[in-house]
Amino acid sequence: MKGWLVKFLLILFAWWGMFGAIGLALCTPDGDVAPLGNRDGKVNIGDALVTLRFALGLEAPTQEDTCHADVAPLGADGMPNPDGKITIGDALVILRKALQLVSWNAATVEDLKEALIDFLENPSEGNYTQLLDMFNAVPNTSEARILKGAGLLFTVYNDHRDFFNQVLKVDLDTVNASSANILYNLLTAPDYAGEILTVMVDVISRLDQADAEFSQVLAASGTRAAGNLASLTFPDGTTVYFDALDVKIMRFLAKFWKAVCLYIESLDISANNWLVNGTDIRDLLLVANGTLNGTSFNGTSNETLYTFFMNNTQLLTYRDPSKLEEFKQAFSQARQTFEEIVNEFATLSEEALRARQNHAFNLDDPASVVIAQAATRVLASLETAFSDPSAELAWIVAANETLHYVDGGDGYYYPKRKFDIYLEYATSTGNATVYDLVSGQITPRALLFGDVFMDYANRTRIELFRSGVEMIDWDEPLETYVIPEADIAIDGNATDWGAVPIFYNQNGIVVKIARNASGDFFVYVSNPRLASENGSFGVDFMAHAPGFFYEVNLNCGRYYEFSCDAYEGGMGLWSSVNTWVAIEPYGVEIMYPGVYNSLVRSDARNRFYLDFSFTSVSGYDSKTLKFLPEIGP
């Protein structure tokens, strides 16, 4: 595909030079253009290029902006131009038609996929430019439109590389700045507010373009079309699929972010005076821990912030209140699209949801669909409040949650939560309401630092939306380890550990664990360095569950002599364990009486942690996993 671009440039320059030179030679003093051997009454590429060279100032024309032809050329509307003159628009139309005749629009969807993947893997300037070239070169099939629309969403920020590079001092190819530096560079730019507004205008334009592409796809394929419409395979072999539902979701994202941009456009975000008590508060961003001369940036007092806002009376007022109506319209469109998406997800079975796991967007299980359904009620209440100041506002509350881990049948365990979903309602009181904010009657400034505060009354009512919702988080797989049952004697002899498999073996350190029928937990650590080096090591085994924590640890060292400390417990209650015995000359074994049930619970995930420090080497390691078999809680 890169070769295709090189070929494009070579041919373009060859045509430009050849036809331009011939055209100049044949252009008469009064500007007539001989049609370069073309006697059929049509203007060809050479005629168009000659005109472009004159009109763009590359050569001095004999008559400004035009070059007469001895034929009736096509006008910009594609029809014959009766005045016999070729303008820039005429020439571009002719050039485009001529290029189409030689099949110049020859890029394929595969070329577009390659360009999009190149950009996602490495969003450099070159890959960005290459992707934009593909947008204009591929045919407008549904698959191409999907990928173009997705690419438009991905490339929004790249349209503003100068803004990132020159204003924020960020190299997008390396992302070589901290968030504090980025914010500082933004706020210290000569016209940071103007820069942001310029970006917002261009971002909205790009979002509208993406929305138009997605709209064309849905119009052509049907809004509930079955089957995949596009796919994208990455270098690691992962393939991402797009169907009509994915297209709708991308369309929602475009509409939602447009609404956000429109609200930002409505605000005055400029500040002219950054000094508070002689300190430029922007400088606090670049100071360690956010403090300067005893003043905290993150903990800035209300008095300091109030002074800053009083010094900048226009900050967070409305710059362009007319944008609020556009914001409300965009929000309404986004909400309606979101509701359509959720309603479609609600028709899918759990198996169908799992089958979409390789799609660009998905709700993984029925619980996610239920939460999304509740979210539609929240968004609807918010939109109602835009036009009704007495409307109830809703929000989602989860209660009565329980957790346990389930076998996914693939060697991993996954967290499964069970909970009830409620919708809580309240009316916004006082004169600071959502209605006031989007109608321009109050400003965000007044809400934050004026006499107006967003004061919600106690909830007016609570509604059970769905009980017993179960959610399995398939994105959090836990490796498992079955702790073997063994007859271990803590006697300094490692023979009885021989049949126990190794749990951990790195950096010369071997760890084994076991249990017995009485619920005791055993740990064995072998470390050859103990025979010849001074140093220490520590191992920890932990269990985490909602409202529960338990740990056993063992810390051993060899300096003048070998010794260990061991503890077990959790939640503030700890006790010493003295059942350790050295296994000469390499390590230690220990029994933690009766703790197995606390470590291995059905609602807990486990963590193993090891650290070591010796003369020749030091380090640490950890892993999160699920110990089996489960007991309790």
Instruction: Write out pLDDT tens, residues 434-459.
Output: 888 898 888 888 777 655 555 555 67
19 vs 166, higher pLDDT:
166
Answer yes or no: is pLDDT of 556 > 60: yes
Tens of pLDDT, residue by residue over 358-390, are 899 898 889 999 999 999 999 999 999 999 888
Predicted pLDDT at 92:
54
**CA-CA distance, 179 to 170, in Å (whole number)?**
10
Q: Answer yes or no: is pLDDT of 171 > 60.
A: no
What pLDDT band is residue 152 in, cutting at 50, 70 and 90? confident
Q: Cα dist. 591→323, 382, 550, 555, 575 in Å?
A: 70, 59, 16, 14, 14
pLDDT at 324 over 80: yes
Same domain, 46 and 129: no
141 inside domain? yes
Residue-number span of the structural domain to which 623 is assigned: 479-628
| Residue written as token pair 């309603």 | 343
How high is the mean pLDDT of the chain? 77
Residue 271 — very low, low, confident or very high, per pLDDT cuts 50/70/90?
confident
Q: Is residue 282 part of a domain?
A: no
Closest CA to 515 of 558, 552, 546: 552
**Joined tokens for residue 553:** 């640890």
- Domain C-terminal end among 240, 266, 292: 266
Q: Say if residues 136 and 144 touch (Cβ distance below 8 Å).
A: no
Exposed/middle/buried for 151, CB within 10 Å: 0-12, 13-18, 19+? buried
126 and 70 in a single domain? The answer is: no
531 has a pLDDT exceeding 60: yes
* pLDDT score, position 8: 28
- Let me know if residue 347 belongs to a domain: no
Task: Report the percent of the chain where pLDDT is more than 90.
Answer: 36
User: Predicted confidence band at 529 (pLDDT cuts at 50, 70, 90)?
Assistant: confident
pLDDT at residue 184 in the model = 66
Confidence category of residue 30, pLDDT binned at 50, 70, 90: very low
Percentage with pLDDT > 70 across the chain = 72
Whether pLDDT at 164 is above 60: no
Strongest mean pLDDT among 54-68, 107-121, 286-300, 500-514: 500-514
pLDDT of 64 higher than 50: no
Residue 335 domain flag: no
Judge whether residue 288 has pLDDT over 60: no
DSSP 288: G
250, amino acid identity: M
How many angstroms separate the CA atoms of 512 and 503, rounded? 5
Is residue 317 assigned to a domain?
Answer: no
pLDDT at 287: 58
pLDDT of residue 105: 45
pTM of structure = 0.66
Residue 71 has pLDDT above 90, yes or no: no
Asked whether residue 207 is domain-assigned, the answer is yes
Position 62 pLDDT exceeds 60: no
The answer to whether residues 78 and 129 belong to one domain is no
468 and 541 belong to one structural domain = no
Of 476, 497, 532, the position where a domain reaches its end is 476
pLDDT of residue 175: 45
pLDDT for the residue numbered 218: 92
| Counted domains in the chain | 4
Task: Mark whether 70 and 34 lie in a shared domain.
Answer: yes
What confidence score (pLDDT) does residue 225 get? 57
User: Which amino acid, residue 224?
Assistant: R
Q: Extract the tokens encoding 358.
A: 């390789």
The pLDDT of residue 392: 87
Same domain for 619 and 488? yes
For 42, how many CA atoms within 13 A lie in the half-sphere containing its CB?
A: 10
Domain membership of residue 14 (yes or no) is: yes
| pLDDT confidence band for 158 (50 / 70 / 90) | low
- Which of 27-31, 402-406, 561-565, 567-571 shows the lowest mean pLDDT across its residues? 27-31
Same domain, 13 and 60: yes
Mean pLDDT of 281-308: 58
Residue 460 lies in a domain: yes
Are 543 and 422 contained in the same domain?
Answer: no
Q: What is the DSSP string of 207-250?
A: HHHHHHHHHHHHHHH-TT--S-SEEEE-TTS-EEEE-HHHHHHH
pLDDT of residue 608 exceeding 80: yes
Coil/strand/helix, residue 611: strand
Q: What is the pLDDT of residue 284?
A: 66
Do both 409 and 504 map to the same domain? no
Which carries the bigger pLDDT value, residue 298 or residue 230? 230
Q: Can you tell me the distance from the alpha carbon of 311 to that of 9, in angstroms, rounded to the nearest whole number?
A: 55
Task: Note whether 524 and 579 are same-domain residues.
Answer: yes
Whether 117 and 148 share a structural domain: yes
Are residues 422 and 391 in contact, defined by beta-carbon separation less than 8 angstroms? Answer: no
Task: Check if the beta carbon of residue 602 is closer than 8 Å to that of residue 595.
Answer: no
Structure confidence at residue 295 (pLDDT): 46
* 592 and 486 part of one domain: yes
Q: Which range has the worst mean pLDDT, 326-335, 364-373, 424-433? A: 424-433
pLDDT at site 235: 87
Q: Which amino acid is at 626?
A: K
For 380-517, list the strands marked E by DSSP: 392-407, 412-429, 455-456, 461-472, 478-482, 504-506, 509-515
Which amino acid is residue 409, in one-letter code?
Answer: G
Residue that is last in its domain, among 215, 238, 266: 266
The pLDDT, as a whole number, for residue 87 is 55
Are the C-beta atoms of residues 540 and 552 closer than 8 Å to each other?
Answer: yes
**Which residue has better confidence, 24 or 240?**
240
Query: If you average pLDDT over residues 595-599, what whole number do you get?
Result: 92
**E strand intervals along 546-603:** 548-558, 562-570, 573-576, 580-583, 587-592
